[in-house]
Structure 1
């Protein structure tokens, strides 16, 4: 088990809007690589899929292809959630940026194409949310909408 410290930016959801200015979208045809976690994490992710909201940031759920209980999407350009992803190597960096949104910790990574990738921390499964550049104007609003489902379905702990 590898536990590292991260610099958390404990900001209220509205104050964090400024932090996420700028993301990029998946292309017009939404697709997502489906993770392949072990059976325990797959079950947690299936529970998360059942708990996910039908709208995120005011956008209707439009899941990417291929259809899977381990992926979900909202809007176009699509906000994509993938559950059961591998632990990002960047989590080993104690200087990595992280935020806490409504009780769920997220590591923040700005991608070269302008998207923001958030990966849940200190949960028994890693949940990744990618917010496209076109959706960045609403900052952390998608994470605010997703936090209750993550808290309900993915227990606190360290993913193996």
Structure 2
């Protein structure tokens, strides 16, 4: 014998098509909310808090930054800041100006690869996710560029493209 499904009284008052769609709509809305919250949390960038002098240099650099970097359009950073620039969507290239001096420069990683582009040295560090962290050294404000994996022919490409702007706006 088949058991009769007990439907709550509030749902019985609704037309059958509405009852049939209630569960799929609720699941879809829940999925959209979860995915939206995950992507916004992942897209947030830690904003540096430079001192007054470095902040001035970083604001000058921000004003000179291109709307496109090596074919990738500039995006709004979250949260918006004159010390952060983002190009591309996923994966994306992130530049932060006015960061603290990386602690790794005091330890064994200080001897990691530090290529020089047009007399500007970029200390590089390969990260666990395959991206590269490049930091312009010997400047009055430290500039960090995160080069995502697999986007450029060389992970140094975005830093090399930004070198003239860093040199022009942040004195050594």
Fold shared per TM-score above 0.5 = yes
The unaligned stretches of length 5 or more in structure 1 are 1-26
The unaligned stretches of length 5 or more in structure 2 are 1-37
| C-alpha RMSD over aligned residues | 1.7
Greater share of residues in helix: 2
TM-score normalised by structure 1 residue count = 0.75
Q: 1:138 to 1:95 in 2, by over 3 A?
A: closer
Aligned to 1:152: 168
Please list, as runs of the form range in 1=range in 2, the aligned pairs for 1:1-160 lying within 5 A after superposition: 29=40, 30-76=43-89, 77-93=91-107, 94-156=110-172
Q: Which has the higher contact order (CA 8 A, sep 6+)?
A: 1
8 Å CA contact 1:99, 1:106 repeated in 2: yes
TM-score normalised by structure 2 residue count = 0.70
**Pairwise CA distance, 1:138:** 4.0
Aligned to 2:14: none
**Pairwise CA distance, 1:54:** 1.6
Which structure is larger by alpha-carbon Rg, 1 or 2? 2
